[in-house]
Amino acid sequence: MKKVLLVILDGLGDLEIKELNHKTPLEAGNTPNLDYMAKNGKTGLIQPCMLSNETYPTSEGAHIGLFGYQDFFLGRGPYEALGINMPLNQGDLALRVNFATLKDNLIVDRRANRIKNTSELIQALSKIEIKGVRFDLEKSDAHRGVLVLRGTNLSSNITSNDPKKEGNPPLKVKGDKRTAKLLNEYLKKAHTILDNLEFNKKREFPANYLLVRGAGKFKQVIPFKEKYGLRPACVAGGGLYKGVARMIGMDIIEKPSFTADIDTDLKAKFKATKKALKEYEFVFLHIKGTDVCSHDGKYKAKKAFIEKIDQYFKDFLNIKNLLIVVTGDHSTPSKLKEHSCDPVPLLIYGGKKDQTICFSEKEAQKGSIGTIKGEGLMQTLDKIIKSKYN
């Protein structure tokens, strides 16, 4: 039986950059292995999945779509919780959290200077209970965390307090009156505690405020193996991506060195992936660093990171009965520092080839796969598998 390796380079798609001779980081990069697969495989474009309430693709929506679960979206919070193995019970409400810096009632840094060590901060906020609702906060990647409200009659119909842009005051949580009131009270109390920690005051950007978003509740979904007939595994560092994978029944392969940043251990990730392919029929490898570079506007670093990733594909090129799929979840143009609605390049290697000469956004426009919707990727792969990879 043929096996599938799906590699998602988060935020891979980009736009032309003047300083890179009007090329994207992918196009400008020296990527002999990706180019080899493109020349000897097929390419096309993916239009990222967007949920009904989205104005641009989100990481959660795009990934849910790529696996064909867009009709089972729970809100980002539950995926983040499952990504860090945080227990969820029926009725619990989970939210994604950023530690941020608040000064003079303005958010001056939405990531508290990308703080990494938040253990003491989380400890200071432990055992908070308001009107019978317990607030459990646990650490996720770097400046991120997960907040779970445990109690009765909680609603996911609430807004975020994140203003999205720095230099603005935090928003009030609105929506369901009871849940919003409880959460606003908790956020006020958490700020008071964090703002008065002596070790926190010494930081240039004290992590003294919590930005919350992605409220959602847990529910069961159809397992991936039952849906597609392939036993799946996930190799990832980011909590969200492990959470999405765990939610749909993938086994998670993780190590402390697998991070959601450019410092992730790529060598170990690819080694774990190669090993997993001996046991599983579908392996999802997620790499976040490309997106991190884009959000920071570091297009040169993105180019270099893509080049670094490329070298590890060499060991996979001659594996028999393996279909290698490489794409992104969405585009994150480095100059915009935000997600965009631009399509992302897709390559499929392991069967017949088209006339593609390299792997890039521009070249993928000419590929024989054409432009497909993100939520149609698994259907496309299923057709290729059933037609013996033609």
Structural domain contains residue 34: yes
Structural domain contains residue 149: yes
- The pLDDT assigned to 142 comes to 85
Are both 324 and 337 inside the same structural domain? yes
Are both 98 and 139 inside the same structural domain? yes
Are both 193 and 268 inside the same structural domain? no
Are both 343 and 265 inside the same structural domain? yes
The range of the structural domain enclosing residue 92 comes to 82-216
Both tokens assigned to 4: 């599938």
Cα 65 from Cα 52, distance rounded (Å): 12
Are both 30 and 100 inside the same structural domain? no
- The pLDDT assigned to 389 comes to 53
Structural domain contains residue 52: yes
Structural domain contains residue 334: yes
Are both 248 and 375 inside the same structural domain? yes
The stretch 106-134 carries a mean pLDDT of 95
Are both 195 and 308 inside the same structural domain? no
Structural domain contains residue 45: yes
Domain boundary among 186, 216, 246: 216
Are both 94 and 131 inside the same structural domain? yes
CATH number at residue 232: 3.40.720.10
Q: Whose CA is closest to 363, among 384, 344, 379, 338?
A: 344
Are both 230 and 186 inside the same structural domain? no
Domain count, the chain: 2
Are both 264 and 128 inside the same structural domain? no
Is 378 within 8 Å of 67 (Cβ atoms)?
A: yes
Could you read off the pLDDT of 147-180 as tens digits, one per residue? 999 999 999 999 999 999 999 999 999 999 999 9
Cα 343 from Cα 351, distance rounded (Å): 23
Bin 359: left if φ > 0, else alpha if -120 < ψ < 50, else beta.
beta
Domain boundary among 216, 240, 256: 216
Could you read off the pLDDT of 27-62 as tens digits, one per residue? 999 999 999 999 999 999 999 999 888 899 999 999
Residue in this structure with the two tokens 């990481």, named with its chain if needed: 59
Are both 235 and 363 inside the same structural domain? yes
- The pLDDT assigned to 350 comes to 94
Are both 366 and 379 inside the same structural domain? yes
Structural domain contains residue 77: no
**Full-prediction pTM beyond 0.85?**
no
Domain boundary among 193, 216, 239: 216
CATH number at residue 200: 3.30.70
Cα 43 from Cα 371, distance rounded (Å): 9
- The pLDDT assigned to 184 comes to 98
